[in-house]
Structure 1
């Protein structure tokens, strides 16, 4: 599946979750529900994927984790906060860079309309 179609499909599933739950829950609730929906839709999906940091000749497990990784190519960074800031975008880009992933979605579920809480992210390497 091409990235644009994959991204649109995952956004649709996130909207389904948001429609059912609404804003105001913890990030972990949205993560579990979205993971379930993605898995149920038949996609290969990983939750809390560990992202090591390679520094000089050492692999460091610093606690970096991708919230959800879909089809080993789409990074999902989920939030449930008042508003997204540049630091959240930087966090998403860092995960993408560490894993060599080109596409990501930064999704804030704590909004009235989910489309206002979604940012598509492309890493140009």
Structure 2
């Protein structure tokens, strides 16, 4: 993606703040592309609902609207791509 001229950040650490408690490295986002799309990469047998929640949490904390959950453990990659939208 970088070769195509896109801005790509990887392994972004995201803090968590709740009341008086603050954790600096609570979350780790796999990829953020052009500050518009979060990409979470998996290689698992089954996509569990917690993975969708994980991406949605990242979207809400960053105020980004679109996320992709990509599972590389599928015969066809198109079957492993899941689109998640943050309804700001």
Asked if these proteins are the same fold (TM beyond 0.5), I'd say: yes
Aligned residues between the structures: 88
Is the 8 Å Cα contact of residues 16 and 26 (structure 2) preserved in structure 1? no
What's the CA shift string for 1:42-70, capped at 9, x where partnerless? 10010001111121255421431110000
Q: CA–CA distance in 2 between the matches of 1:112 and 1:63?
A: 33
Q: CA–CA distance in 2 between the matches of 1:51 and 1:45?
A: 16
| Structure 2: segments with no counterpart, 5+ residues | none
Pair 1:121-2:88 in alignment: no
What RMSD in Å do the two structures reach over aligned CA positions? Answer: 1.3
Quote the residue 2:40 is aligned against: 77
Q: CA–CA distance in 1 between the matches of 2:64 and 2:82?
A: 16
Pair 1:50-2:13 in alignment: yes
Is the 8 Å Cα contact of residues 74 and 103 (structure 1) preserved in structure 2? yes
Quote the residue 2:30 is aligned against: 67
What's the CA shift string for 1:86-124, capped at 9, x where partnerless? 011011111111111110000000101011111111000
Partner of residue 2 from structure 2, selected from 39, 44, 49: 39
Quote the residue 1:12 is aligned against: none
| Structure 1: segments with no counterpart, 5+ residues | 1-37
**TM-score of the superposed pair, with normalisation by structure 1:** 0.66
